[in-house]
């Protein structure tokens, strides 16, 4: 059985298609502003939210919790689903990666 990709072939299912009103470039710019704000205020965030997951939206901390899923629930309850929020774990410990 073949999938119907529609006329463009990009989005085989309407759920996967982005909403027509979404300006992706603006979402990316807003996300980057929030990321840069987190980096610029890292010491303040670390002093207040050490060892917690932090969500930044509109250049403010809008949710935080030691539990990632709890932080996401707070974010969604306060602001709804948003792709513009930047979230990160606030820790003074160096990040270890296995490559």
> Cβ distance 71 to 89 under 8 Å?
no
> Cβ distance 62 to 55 under 8 Å?
yes
Identify the three-state secondary structure at position 79: helix
**What's the pLDDT at 31?**
92
Of 88, 85, 90, the closest CA to residue 33 belongs to: 85
> Taking 50 as the threshold, does the pLDDT of residue 1 lie above it?
no
Task: Output the six-digit token pair for 12.
Answer: 């085989």
> Taking 90 as the threshold, does the pLDDT of residue 89 lie above it?
yes
Higher per-residue pLDDT: 23 or 46: 46
What average pLDDT does the segment 23-49 reach?
92
- Output DSSP code: residue 18: P
């Amino acid at each position: 059985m073949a999938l119907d990709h529609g006329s463009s072939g990009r989005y085989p299912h309407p759920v996967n298609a982005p909403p027509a009103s979404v300006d992706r470039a603006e979402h990316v710019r807003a996300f980057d502003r929030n990321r840069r704000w987190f980096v610029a205020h890292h010491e303040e965030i670390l002093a207040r939210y050490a060892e917690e997951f932090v969500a930044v939206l509109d250049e403010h901390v809008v949710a935080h919790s030691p539990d990632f899923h709890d932080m996401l629930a707070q974010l969604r309850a306060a602001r709804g689903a948003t792709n513009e929020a930047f979230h990160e774990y606030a820790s003074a410990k160096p990040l270890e990666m296995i490559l």
